Amino acid sequence: MSAVAWPLPAVLAHRCGGALAPENTLAGLSVAAALGCRGVEFDVMLSADGVPVVIHDETVDRTTDGRGCVSALSLAELRRLDAGAWRGPAFAGERLPTLVETLERCASLGLAVNLEIKPATGHDVDTGRVVVETLLQGFADALTGLVLSSFSESSLAAARAVCPDFQYGLLFGELPEDWGTRAGALQVDAIHADTRYLSAATVAQLRDAGYRVAAYTENDPVLATRLGRWGVDSVITDRPDVVLDSVIMTA
């Protein structure tokens, strides 16, 4: 196991506020902090004009009142969309935030960050590079903790090329047979895996290989606690309101 301290807390609210707020919004960060969360996870991709924005899907259709691909819409066009009304009238008017706005809010709320680099198709390298260049504008130093993760190995490689000093995590669903080769080639610090495919033996294997482990997305407090006992470092959840009080982490 690396001697470098793991910078994230035991529980992370998924997509800013989990299921308790419109995902990937500043409102979600406020909800997470009010619950006592010390860390959040969120997704970042680029607008048509190259600005990193916080959103999960490649299109805006599901989480806003607009239509179209994020990578085909300018920041000005994205900012006109309502990203909160779908979650209820209390969140109407919530806007799709930029990465800069999100980092500033996380810093002010004392929230550690698992930033998932989520490139639109064909934008892997640019997204990894721009995200890290943004963090290096003083934002990383303002956070209580930071890990960058991605399913995209090209994004992680591009990010590490700009700044190898950050901690990085390679995301998997079910672990492939060559996970060790791929993680080693990228020199990542952590493996982020789907909780449905984890076992005590798998977590032990990952940790014995020297990797930190984050598990997504676990909403059952009993199962989340079990993940902690297996040695998982951080559990990402949609239900921080029920998981926070019950998780017992051993890492």
Residues tagged active-site = 14, 56
Query: CA angle at residue 87 from 124 to 62, to 5 degrees?
Result: 40
Question: What number of H helices and E strands is found in the chain?
Answer: 10, 9
Best CA proximity match to 1, nearest among 234, 236, 186, 231: 231
Nearest to 225 by CA among 239, 207, 203, 243: 243
Check residue 248 and report its DSSP letter. -
Secondary structure class of 190 (helix, strand, coil): strand
How many residues in the chain? Answer: 251
